[in-house]
A and B are shown apart, each in its own frame.
Chain A
Amino acid sequence: MLDLPGGHVRGGFLMKTILIIMVYLIFAPLLGGLLAGIDRWISARMQARFGPPIWQPFYDVLKLRQKENIVVRRSQNFYIFFFLLFIIFTGGLFFAGYDLLLVIFALTLAGIFFVLGAYKASSPYSFLGAERELLQMMAYEPMVILVAIGMYMVTGSFYIADINSFPHPLLRYLPGLFLGFVFILVIKFRKSPFDLSMSHHAHQELVRGIITEFSGKTLAWIEIAHWYENVFLLGIVYLFCASQPLAGCLLALAVYFMVILVDNVFARLKWQTMLESSWAAAAVLGLGNIIVLHFLR
């Protein structure tokens, strides 16, 4: 490999990619857990409560690891393991700078493993949770793909590495897609008013929805998977302003705060409203943005 100058460069590139992925593997759950803790703290403050310590999500996960693992069907946990695996894989692809569409497909695959696990558990609550999770996926999927298309139209590449190195903030070209994406982020973060399939808060009509039948270590996996997922989703938000890294980070945090605020302000809506409004957002904000871009080009 060292004989060829090109090989050296490629080797360096590979090393860099591996390094990024390692950093992601270790720090994404830390960041994700911390964000979840901050979320709970801010939410508590918004409700005039003191709230748990910021590290609370980590305590929860550590505790869950020591609990007994109760299942209804013996194979239900495998699906969750693959959910975690593919979420990590998705994030890895994203931060390594691969094809954005591929990343979205991998995310869908991960989500489907989650849903199948809940179906497999065969309890009415988890079944209904799974069905609603699917509805949620159907609701946000168009918007996510439209974001990828919009980014491609501006930067000429689906590769996240290229999108990331685009010299101008994408927000300037894609304001509609950005707003639409923030809209569906509420679904993806499982926040009110669209926390239909499961909620972070106590009692709801679905008990705990899609995660009702998972306990112990498996529940901890689900939690960790969500941390990875949230970091990756904020990564997409960051892409909208990647030309100025600091502004990009601030944008991601601001969006996160917005979502928390929305969570605390709204009550849960019906799935009909979710489907209609998110498809309307995709059609008006997303597609509208793309139409404008198309005709301006």
Chain B
Amino acid sequence: MGSPFKKSPWVIHYDASSCNGCDIEVLACLTPVYDVERLGIINTGNPKHADIFLVTGSVNEQNKEVVQNIYQQLPEPKVVVAIGICATSGCIFRDCYNIQGGVDKVIPVDVYVPGCAARPEAIIDGIIQSLRVLEEKRQIMSSMSGSIDQMIVEKANQSDLPEILALQKIAYQSEQEIYANSSLEPLNQTMKELEQEFRSMTFLKVMVNGKIIGTIRGYKQGETAYLSREAVHPYFQGKGLGSRLIKEMESYFPLTNRFEVFTWFKSKRNIYLYEKNGYRQFKTEQVSETMEYVYLEKIVKAKGSQDEEQ
């Protein structure tokens, strides 16, 4: 019978800034001539019910948050199909002052359907292609969800960096949501910067079935160890992984008395996570009009002094 995902892909269509050419073709797919419902495809009009996110047109300043927001509201597993050349690369609009470029500039895209406008046959083909990706994601998700107890936490290698960067971008997507007006550094980090960091910091990774689902990095400067860029894949958030990563990372700096982390002022969940692990806020810093950093610290009594007391 195969996977039910292949038989029942529900789509949501969003027009970023299309000229309506591709939109018309997407809707043409629903008409009697092409009738995608025979493949089980339904246009749900609601991200919370959809599996496939169809985006037409290039992304501009106005709607980049909307695209991210809708992407965020699609339940996992989900795939994104960029339809038309504008959605693929920005095409002739790519140099416009207000154009971000293709859809992949703001959310991860799985399938590109070029064309101006993309023909219905191509669109249907794109959706069918995306089903393979969807199935792959589902398999990862279901194989992983059963094996959360068998995860391995270990130091990352140089070769893990691309995967870690990808994970970081997926994981910080939800944070970005909260700060609509200013973009966060983890999302803009390039491979080069990451490689530079790798040389000076300790990187940890959490592996399940050979896939990296969580990461954190830390370094020591003077008496303080700094933890940063903690990221957990959205499938696995809320399962205690965050706390575990913090503890593992702390154990890499055994003789340290003070740990420090920073996060953004509206990230209640992060602050809660750190506070649960013994961190306390000690200062905030206004970095721009809309952004404020929150610094948290944790003071640990040195092992030696505890022994003396006993």
The one of A49, A51, A208 that contacts B44, using a Cβ cutoff of 8 Å: A208
Chain A residues near B38 (CB, 8 Å)? 44, 49-53
Expressed in whole angstroms, the Cα–Cα distance for A212 and B47 within the complex equals: 9
| Contact bitstring A258-291, B, C-beta under 8 A = 1, else 0 | 0000000000000000000000000000000000
Expressed in whole angstroms, the Cα–Cα distance for A199 and B37 within the complex equals: 16
- Min CB distance B21 to A, Å, is 19
The one of A44, A60, A202, A215 that contacts B35, using a Cβ cutoff of 8 Å: A44
- Min CB distance A142 to B, Å, is 32
Q: Does A68 contact B (CB under 8 A)?
A: yes
Are A59 and B8 within 8 A (Cβ)? Answer: yes
Are B4 and A59 within 8 A (Cβ)? Answer: yes
The one of A50, A52, A53, A70 that contacts B73, using a Cβ cutoff of 8 Å: A70
Q: Does B278 contact A (CB under 8 A)?
A: no
Q: Does B32 contact A (CB under 8 A)?
A: yes
Chain A residues near B37 (CB, 8 Å)? 40, 44, 49, 51-52
Chain B residues near A208 (CB, 8 Å)? 44-46, 49
Are A47 and B45 within 8 A (Cβ)? Answer: no
Chain B residues near A216 (CB, 8 Å)? 75
- Min CB distance A88 to B, Å, is 23
Are A219 and B32 within 8 A (Cβ)? Answer: no
Q: Which has the most chain A C-beta neighbours within 10 Å: B7, B39, B48, B73? A: B48
Expressed in whole angstroms, the Cα–Cα distance for A70 and B49 within the complex equals: 10
Q: Does A16 contact B (CB under 8 A)?
A: no
Are B49 and A59 within 8 A (Cβ)? Answer: no
Expressed in whole angstroms, the Cα–Cα distance for A59 and B37 within the complex equals: 13
Are A63 and B48 within 8 A (Cβ)? Answer: no
Q: Which residue of chain A has its CB nearest to the CB of B35? A: A49
Given that A44-B35, A67-B76 are contacting pairs, would A202 and B4 also be in contact in the complex, using a CB cutoff of 8 Å? no
Are A214 and B8 within 8 A (Cβ)? Answer: no
The one of A53, A66, A214 that contacts B4, using a Cβ cutoff of 8 Å: A66
Q: Does A203 contact B (CB under 8 A)?
A: yes
| Contact bitstring B120-154, A, C-beta under 8 A = 1, else 0 | 00000000000000000010001000000000000
Are B48 and A70 within 8 A (Cβ)? Answer: yes
Given that A44-B35, A68-B76 are contacting pairs, would A215 and B49 also be in contact in the complex, using a CB cutoff of 8 Å? yes
Are B45 and A215 within 8 A (Cβ)? Answer: no
Expressed in whole angstroms, the Cα–Cα distance for A67 and B10 within the complex equals: 12
Q: Does A213 contact B (CB under 8 A)?
A: yes
Are A203 and B45 within 8 A (Cβ)? Answer: yes
Are A214 and B48 within 8 A (Cβ)? Answer: yes
Expressed in whole angstroms, the Cα–Cα distance for A56 and B142 within the complex equals: 23
Q: A interface, by DSSP: helix, strand, loop or mixed?
A: loop
Which positions 38-67 of chain B face chain A at CB distance < 8 Å?
38-40, 42-46, 48-49, 51
Which positions 194-228 of chain A face chain B at CB distance < 8 Å?
202-204, 207-208, 211-216, 219
| Contact bitstring A26-53, B, C-beta under 8 A = 1, else 0 | 0000000000000010001001111111
Expressed in whole angstroms, the Cα–Cα distance for A289 and B30 within the complex equals: 44
Chain A residues near B49 (CB, 8 Å)? 208, 211, 215, 219
Which positions 48-98 of chain B face chain A at CB distance < 8 Å?
48-49, 51, 73, 75-77
Given that A56-B40, A202-B43, A208-B49 are contacting pairs, would A48 and B32 also be in contact in the complex, using a CB cutoff of 8 Å? yes
Are B73 and A60 within 8 A (Cβ)? Answer: no
Chain A residues near B46 (CB, 8 Å)? 207-208, 212
Which positions 41-85 of chain A face chain B at CB distance < 8 Å?
44, 47-53, 56, 59-60, 62-63, 66-70
Q: Does B295 contact A (CB under 8 A)?
A: no
Q: Which residue of chain A has its CB nearest to the CB of B11? A: A202
| Contact bitstring B14-43, A, C-beta under 8 A = 1, else 0 | 000000000000000010100101111011
The one of B40, B43, B48, B75 that contacts A60, using a Cβ cutoff of 8 Å: B40
Are B7 and A47 within 8 A (Cβ)? Answer: no
Given that A49-B32, A207-B46, A212-B46 are contacting pairs, would A67 and B51 also be in contact in the complex, using a CB cutoff of 8 Å? yes
| Contact bitstring B161-198, A, C-beta under 8 A = 1, else 0 | 00000000000000000000000000000000000000
Expressed in whole angstroms, the Cα–Cα distance for A70 and B5 within the complex equals: 18
The one of B32, B35, B44, B75 that contacts A69, using a Cβ cutoff of 8 Å: B75
Chain A residues near B8 (CB, 8 Å)? 56, 59-60, 62-63
Are B48 and A204 within 8 A (Cβ)? Answer: no
Chain B residues near A215 (CB, 8 Å)? 48-49, 75
The one of B42, B76, B77 that contacts A202, using a Cβ cutoff of 8 Å: B42
The one of B10, B30, B48 that contacts A212, using a Cβ cutoff of 8 Å: B48
Are B48 and A56 within 8 A (Cβ)? Answer: no
Expressed in whole angstroms, the Cα–Cα distance for A59 and B1 within the complex equals: 10
Further contacts, 7 of them, CB under 8 A, given A51-B35, A66-B138, A70-B75: A49-B35, A52-B38, A52-B40, A59-B8, A60-B4, A66-B4, A208-B49
Taking Cβ atoms with an 8 Å cutoff, the residues of B that contact A are 4-5, 7-8, 10, 30, 32, 35, 37-40, 42-46, 48-49, 51, 73, 75-77, 138, 142, 235
Q: List 18 A-B contacts (CB under 8 A).
A: A47-B32, A49-B35, A53-B40, A59-B4, A59-B8, A63-B7, A63-B8, A63-B51, A66-B142, A67-B75, A70-B75, A202-B30, A204-B45, A207-B45, A208-B44, A208-B46, A208-B49, A212-B48
Taking Cβ atoms with an 8 Å cutoff, the residues of A that contact B are 40, 44, 47-53, 56, 59-60, 62-63, 66-70, 202-204, 207-208, 211-216, 219
